[in-house]
């Protein structure tokens, strides 16, 4: 069974965009809030999260405190959470209410049980070329991932991926290192500066079959 990746691309997070499968990212973290959504099904306080399902909500937070943004209420002079999309789960009401439980536990944005991984700070595209079958796939990966983690992604396309040797420009790649550490430089910024289409310069990882299916 493939391991859950440590890093996720924004497009991966975006694919989890329903109440039954609700992911968000914020401050570099990726959280699966599906259990929270199921627990609070029908609650109006869930609506802001449903509206942003699958997206990055870092703008909701103070990067220093890691807490929701706050402001001073001009009427009460009290510090309140800033929630322009409307009050959200675990945010207290503006005044005393009998239906508000102040001991509801850790708010969802601090609860580590919901965190499933980290959001990639920089994604990049590579071409995976199977020299045995001549098949080629263009894959978006996280720059922080080792080739072993990229291989886990590739298993969905080739169940015998472990039976291949990976090379770049004739040099065998180290599976415990990242693309950058394997001298596969990320040239996106330079290509953008030169106004060149990065799709035309996507580096290719060559996969050579080892004639050994024992690891498939």
Query: pLDDT tens, 24-70?
Result: 999 999 999 999 999 999 999 999 999 999 999 999 999 999 999 99
- Over residues 160-169, the mean pLDDT reads 93
Q: What is the pLDDT of residue 1?
A: 45
pTM of the model as a whole = 0.85
In tens, the pLDDT along 78-132 reads: 899 999 999 999 998 876 666 666 666 799 999 999 999 999 999 999 999 999 9
Q: What is the pLDDT of residue 108?
A: 96
Final residue of a structural domain among 59, 84, 119 = 119
In tens, the pLDDT along 6-28 reads: 899 999 999 999 999 999 999 99
- Does residue 165 lie within any of the structural domains? yes
CA 4 to chain centre: 11
Same structural domain, 78 and 21: yes
Final residue of a structural domain among 119, 135, 153 = 119
The tally of domains found in the chain comes to 2
Same structural domain, 106 and 129: no
72 strand-pairing partners: 79
Give the CATH number, domain containing residue 113: 3.10.120
Pair of tokens at residue 155: 């298993």
Query: Do the Cβ atoms of 158 and 130 come closer than 8 Å?
Result: yes
Q: What is the pLDDT of residue 5?
A: 67
- Over residues 161-190, the mean pLDDT reads 94
168 strand-pairing partners: 171
Final residue of a structural domain among 119, 139, 160 = 119
Burial of 1: CB neighbours in 10 Å, binned 0-12, 13-18, 19+: exposed
Domain that holds residue 64: 7-119
Q: What is the pLDDT of residue 212?
A: 56
What is the C-alpha separation between 140 and 133, in angstroms, rounded?
21
């Amino acid at each position: 069974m493939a391991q859950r990746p440590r890093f996720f691309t924004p497009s991966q997070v975006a694919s989890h965009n329903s109440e039954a499968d609700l992911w968000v990212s914020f401050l570099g973290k990726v959280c699966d809030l599906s259990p929270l959504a199921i627990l609070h099904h029908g609650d109006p306080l869930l609506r802001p999260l449903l509206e942003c399902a699958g997206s990055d909500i870092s703008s909701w937070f103070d990067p220093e405190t890691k807490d929701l943004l706050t402001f001073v209420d001009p009427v009460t002079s009290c510090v309140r959470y800033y929630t322009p999309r409307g009050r959200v789960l675990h945010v207290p009401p503006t005044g005393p209410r009998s239906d508000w439980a102040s001991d509801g536990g850790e708010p969802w944005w601090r609860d580590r049980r919901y965190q499933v991984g980290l959001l990639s700070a920089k994604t990049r595209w590579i071409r995976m070329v199977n020299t045995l079958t001549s098949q080629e796939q263009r894959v978006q990966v996280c720059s922080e991932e080792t080739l072993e983690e990229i291989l886990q992604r590739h298993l969905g396309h080739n169940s015998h991926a472990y039976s291949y040797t990976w090379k770049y420009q004739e040099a065998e790649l180290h599976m415990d290192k990242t693309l950058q550490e394997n001298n596969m430089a990320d040239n996106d910024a330079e290509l953008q500066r030169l106004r060149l289409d990065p799709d035309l310069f996507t580096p290719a990882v060559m996969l050579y079959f080892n004639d050994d299916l024992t690891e498939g």
